[in-house]
Amino acid sequence: MMEKISPIKEIAQVFILNNKLFVQVENDVKLYGNKNREDANRLFEIVREELINKKRGNFIFVKDITTHQRKLLYDFLVSKGFNRRELFRHYSY
């Protein structure tokens, strides 16, 4: 995963939603699925620490979002082709 994130030179946003980690560069959004919410949080922290340690200042990390922001995020991700039902899932089996 870091091999795909490290080459990014543009401003990018890294955020989690339920059990998924997303990397957004402008209108391009990549999803990285995890087993559960705890795994998503752990992956978020690992990615954040690694990029900060590499002094990569072009990444914005967003962890906590409000219910209103989450609703807007669902709408945005659905407009990008993601399945709303899959976005709601907290666990993958």
Domain parsing of the chain, residue ranges: 2-88
Residue type, 31: L
Smallest CA-to-CA distance from 28 within 11, 42, 44 is with: 11
pTM of the shown model: 0.90
pLDDT digits (tens, 9 = 90+) for 42-65: 999 999 999 999 999 999 999 878
Smallest CA-to-CA distance from 77 within 22, 9, 6 is with: 22
Smallest CA-to-CA distance from 62 within 23, 34, 36 is with: 23
Tens digit of pLDDT per residue, the chain (93 long)? Answer: 899 999 999 999 999 999 999 999 999 999 999 999 999 999 999 999 999 999 999 999 998 788 999 999 999 999 999 999 999 888 876
Mean pLDDT of the chain: 93
